[in-house]
Every structure is written in structure tokens, then in C-alpha cells.
Amino acid sequence: MRSMGWWYAMVGTVVFVTANAPGQPAAAEPRGDILRIYEMLPEEAPNLHDGGLTDWQRLGFSPTLTESRFLATYPADPPVGLLGPPDVWFSLYFGWMEDPPRLYFGLQLCDDTWQLYEDGEAPLVEGKDRFVVGIDADASGGNAWEAVTMEGCRDKQRDPETGQQYCASDSRQAQWWYCIPRTGREPELYQIERAWATALPWSESGGSLGPHNGCLVMEGWFVPFDHSYYEGPQRSVVSVLYPGQTILLYAGGEDFDEMQTDTPVYDQGMWYDVQIGACAHCPAFDSTRWPQAVLLPASTRPTFVPSESWGRVKSRSRGGP
Ligand SMILES: [Ca+2]
Ligand SMILES: [Ca+2]
Ligand SMILES: [Ca+2]
């Protein structure tokens, strides 16, 4: 399991490597396939609290990502490699809404052994299962780990090498949303350093863990931001979403199973990352290397039925014209 400290160490390492690899800027690397995300109309919004994704399927949505596009990237035990039953496997649906601008997600996450957060336990405590979705809707780039805070900016400015870049990011970073499964409660949606965004009108979620602690279903939505400030929404800038737009998306997770008391917690988990195009061995903190996703209109959805036609179908079923 990679701790925050590990990640920050890696940030420094990658910055160094990039700076010493002339002609190979991350943003210019060729990309692999582009994910397709279909529009969800306001009147179609799924039930977030029914513990199921059949409402998505009825609308013609199918999983944007499954575990086959992910790789277990850390650590070597269990061996780094492909995911799947019986260890961890999942289906992740995405939909987007133009007005209000929202990214919807539906996640069915299956795990052989759950390490759930207890009631009141901090969202980022080590040793618990969690899933994360990242979004950079204006493709500005930026490190979602380094959500700029006043304290952080002040600290970093003491170091001229890192401070200038950090504070100049001006809260343009990608946003990173954690799915936190809790014992006896609906899973929680959490954004690092942006507690204000984890409530209406900025986000909403629901879900449940299936019988016999099988598969977790979590669904929800969040508003993406071009600028997202730590102190609140006042100066923050909501992203504009429109058909044909290309956004950057990340997904990954941490799986802890049987825990040994004689081994450090962070050595017992497995981290997995989406592996598409430039995101091969994806540096989760660098959104310019996240997979691209194109936003497609609802009319292009495989089984889309315009709401007007639905009205006629329903009318006919009741004996109408
Ligand atoms: Ca549902
Ligand atoms: Ca597992
Ligand atoms: Ca687990």
C-alpha cells in the first residue's frame, strides 16, 4: 500500500526524471483508446439509493471500465498483475450531464475480503478498501494529491524550488473523489481537502454492500471544477460540459484482505490503476497522463429512446393513440 509519503516521494522522482528526458514531455505522448461517456438527461437520473445498477442498464449504459483495463501495480505480494475474481473485480459506469454539469458514476465492486471503514473512522486511514475516481474536466493538468491549502502554500513557499509551482497551480488541479465503504452505512463520497464539495449541491451518493458482504454498489455524481478552492465554492469555477468535449479521467483502488498484525499495514494492501494509453503504470498524480474520455450526446446511446417517444409508447400501452 502506498502511503501519502510514498506518493510525495514519487512526485519528486518523476519530476526529476521528466526534467531529464528531453523531448519526451508526458502530455505529448501518444494516447491509447479514448473512453466514451454518454449523456444522462436530467429526467433520467438514476436512483442512487437502490443498491443496484439496473436503472443504468435500462437507459442503455454499459460499463465504461472493468477490472480487465486495470493492473495491480503495487506491491509485489500478491504478485503485480491482472485483477479478477476471486480477489477484486468491478464494473464502473460513467454518465455526464450538461445542465447542471455533473459526472455520474455507478460502481459495482466485488472483493473476497472486505476491510471496511468503521463509523467515524477518517476517510484516508490506511488498511481499508477504497476506490477512487479522478476528473480533470478542462484538461488543465495538475496533481490531485496536492490540493492547494493555505497552510500548504505557505509551507511550500519556504522552498523556492517546489513552492512556486505548487502555489501557482491556483487550485486548477484535477479533483480526486474517494469511494469509502463503511460498516453498516451507505458508502461515503469524499474529496481530499475539499470537504465543502462533499455535500449538495456539489455531490451526492448512495449505495450498499450486498448480502454476505459480496459486492458493493455505489452510485453518485459530482460537479467538476476548473478551479476548486479549499476555502469554499465562492471563488471556485465549475467546469462546462458539452457534447464532443474531451475530459481526463482516472480510476484506481486499494484492496486489503486478510490482515496480519506482525506486518506493517501499508505492506499488506494492493493498489490498482487504470492502464490505458499514456496511463500505463499510471502516475495517478499527473492528470495529463490520465485516459481521455469523450462526452457523447444522449441521442447516440445504444438503446436511447427520446422521452417524447417514451410518452407515446406509454400512451399506446394504455390504449391511447
Ligand atoms: Ca441505481
Ligand atoms: Ca481482495
Ligand atoms: Ca479487500
- Please name which ligand lies nearest the alpha carbon of 128: 3
Going from N- to C-terminal start, the domains of the chain cover 4-317
257: CA distance to ligand 3 center in Å? 4
- Please name which ligand lies nearest the alpha carbon of 90: 2
93: CA distance to ligand 3 center in Å? 21
Q: Residue 213's pLDDT is what? A: 64
206: CA distance to ligand 1 center in Å? 9
254: CA distance to ligand 3 center in Å? 8
Region class of 139: left (phi > 0), else alpha (psi between -120 and 50), else beta: left
Mean pLDDT of the chain, nearest integer:
81
Q: The C-alpha cell of 120 is what?
A: 467515524
% pLDDT > 70, the chain: 74
Q: Is the pLDDT of residue 155 over 90?
A: no
Q: Is the pLDDT of residue 312 over 60?
A: no
40: CA distance to ligand 2 center in Å? 32
Q: Residue 8's pLDDT is what? A: 32
Contact indicator for 132, 145 with CB cutoff of 8 Å? no
Q: Residue 82's pLDDT is what? A: 80
Confidence of residue 166 (pLDDT cuts 50, 70, 90): low
Q: Are strands 215-222 and 237-238 parallel, antiparallel or unpaired?
A: unpaired
Q: Looking at per-residue confidence, does 98 or 192 come out higher?
A: 98
Q: The C-alpha cell of 17 is what?
A: 526524471
252: CA distance to ligand 2 center in Å? 14
Mean pLDDT is lowest, of 4-8, 133-137, 223-227, for 4-8
104: CA distance to ligand 2 center in Å? 26
275: CA distance to ligand 1 center in Å? 27
Cα–Cα distances (Å) from 179 to 109, 146, 209, in that order, read 10, 19, 13
Q: The C-alpha cell of 172 is what?
A: 486548477
Q: Residue 74's pLDDT is what? A: 76
pLDDT in tens, 250-298: 999 999 999 999 888 878 888 898 888 666 556 667 888 889 999 999 9
Distance CA 143, CA 287 (A): 7
256: CA distance to ligand 2 center in Å? 6
**CATH fold of 4-317, please?**
Immunoglobulin-like (2.60.40)
- Please name which ligand lies nearest the alpha carbon of 59: 1
Confidence of residue 9 (pLDDT cuts 50, 70, 90): very low
112: CA distance to ligand 2 center in Å? 5
pLDDT in tens, 22-74: 333 333 333 458 999 999 999 999 999 999 999 999 999 999 999 999 988 77
Cα–Cα distances (Å) from 163 to 18, 42, 81, 143, 166, in that order, read 18, 42, 36, 14, 5
- Please name which ligand lies nearest the alpha carbon of 216: 3
Cis peptide before 302 (omega within 30 of 0): no
The pair phi, psi for residue 42, each rounded to 5°, is -55, -35
51: CA distance to ligand 1 center in Å? 6
87: CA distance to ligand 2 center in Å? 4
Q: Residue 315's pLDDT is what? A: 57
If you write DSSP's letter for every residue of 231-252 in order, what string do you get? T-SSS-EEPP--TT-EEEEEEE
219: CA distance to ligand 1 center in Å? 7
Closest CA to 199 of 175, 218, 220, 228: 220
Q: Residue 317's pLDDT is what? A: 55
Most confident of 71-85, 166-180, 183-197, 300-314: 183-197
**Per-chain residues with Cβ under 5 A from ion ligand 2:** 87-88, 111-112, 255, 257
Q: Is the pLDDT of residue 87 over 70?
A: yes
207: CA distance to ligand 1 center in Å? 8
pLDDT in tens, 21-33: 333 333 333 345 8
% pLDDT > 90, the chain: 49
210: CA distance to ligand 2 center in Å? 15
